Amino acid sequence: MKQVLDIRGIDFGYSPDALLYNDFSLSLNAGEIKAIVGPSGAGKSTLFELILGHLRPRNGTIEAGRVAMVFQDPYSSFHPSYTLYNQIRDVAPMDGMEAYMETMQLERALLHKYPHELSGGQLQRCSILRALLMKPDLLLLDEPTSALDNVTQLDVMQMLIKMLGEMGMLLITHEIDLARWCADTIIKIGAE
């Protein structure tokens, strides 16, 4: 099985006296979903910043394949004055777009609208579309369904699970029931 993420023995903290991660290791293979759960401030989003290379660990190594990310708030992940189509085309090849759109029940006309013209559920699906078109090895999901109603949340997670294939997914969530339902492994960080 293809490994898409390999974190070995990292140490990281914003202050030398308080490490969020001390000798932390994690690996993820294609076809797997692992969930990171923990309270606010425990370092869940910091882990994604480390994986993306926006932060550097004090010790240890992080190796990842091609990475794409789906953010918690879809409205802040798109520029308000450009159509969705232009924003997606700027960062990803459009190969396979029609098939993804059909799976996600998105009409093509939606892509020619501005972010504020879509519902939160539609916009989050466009955010996922953009991430999938980037053909990642590793998909980082930061509370991707927290702003959605329960029915839309279930639809989005079922769709993502169907698309695992050659990629692995790392999910941040506060919702332990969601993690239990979809993840192969749950990693708890910070004090509960």
Residue 38 and residue 45: Cα distance in Å, rounded? 11
Q: pLDDT (tens digit, 9 = 90+) per residue, 57-76?
A: 999 999 999 999 998 888 88
Output 151 or 64, whichever has higher pLDDT. 64
Where in the chain are the domains?
A: 3-188
Q: Assess whether pLDDT exceeds 70 at residue 191.
A: no
Task: State the average pLDDT over residues 9-20.
Answer: 90
pLDDT of residue 67: 96
Task: State the average pLDDT over residues 132-155.
Answer: 84
pLDDT of residue 192: 47
CATH architecture of 3-188: 3-Layer(aba) Sandwich (3.40)
CA distances from 184 to 7, 11, 88, 148 (A): 18, 25, 30, 23
